[in-house]
Amino acid sequence: MSENPDPDKLADLEAKIKALKGEVVEDKDTGGEITSQAGYAWQMIIELCVGLGIGFGIGYGLDSVFDTRPIFMVLFILLGFAAGVRVMLGTARQMQEKQAEITALDKKE
């Protein structure tokens, strides 16, 4: 075993350990950061809630203007839910692609 370990290998090992623990890791290649699984989960929850909130707001506003209380509100809440789920699925796809890239890089080394 050598007395002086390679600093690049140590940094890579430390990044892998942090990634497995779910901590935020600095990505050397892109200069950005790889977010943790919890970060993605919060992002997906917020996307769904924002979709519902916007749908509620638009529906309530239209119901107030046309004086048709629950019709537009229910319709736009459902549309907001569908939009939120669609955005969440896009985030999940993005997360899988990043994970596949990380796995591919690990297999290269």
Q: What pLDDT digit, counting tens, does each position of 62-94 carry?
A: 999 999 989 999 999 999 999 999 999 999 999
The boundaries of the domain holding residue 19 are 1-34
Together in a domain, 52 and 29:
no
Predicted confidence at residue 63, as pLDDT, reads 96
Predicted confidence at residue 35, as pLDDT, reads 62
The CB-based long-range contact list for 89-96 (8 Å cut-off, 24+ gap) reads 91/40, 91/43, 91/44, 91/47, 92/40, 92/44, 95/40
Together in a domain, 73 and 95:
yes
Together in a domain, 9 and 58:
no
Predicted confidence at residue 22, as pLDDT, reads 65
Can you tell me which residue has the tokens 């919890």? 38
Together in a domain, 66 and 99:
yes
Together in a domain, 29 and 66:
no
Query: Nearest to residue 36, comparing CAs of 50, 21, 17?
Result: 21
The per-residue pLDDT for range 12-51, each reduced to its tens digit, is: 888 788 777 766 655 555 445 556 778 888 999 999 999 9
Predicted confidence at residue 31, as pLDDT, reads 47
Together in a domain, 39 and 25:
no
Domain count for the chain: 2
Partners of 25 in the β-ladder: 34
Together in a domain, 58 and 14:
no
Q: To 5 degrees, how large is the angle CA 16–CA 87–CA 24?
A: 20
How far is residue 93's CA from residue 106's CA, in Å, rounded to a whole number? 20
Together in a domain, 56 and 43:
yes
* CB contact at 8 A, 51 and 80: yes
Together in a domain, 23 and 66:
no
Together in a domain, 43 and 13:
no
pLDDT grade for 2, boundaries at 50, 70 and 90? low
Together in a domain, 26 and 39:
no
Higher pLDDT: 105 or 46? It is 46
Burial degree of 80 (CB within 10 A; 0-12, 13-18, 19+): buried
Together in a domain, 27 and 47:
no
Query: Nearest to residue 17, comparing CAs of 107, 109, 108, 106?
Result: 106
Predicted confidence at residue 37, as pLDDT, reads 79
Q: Structure pTM?
A: 0.66
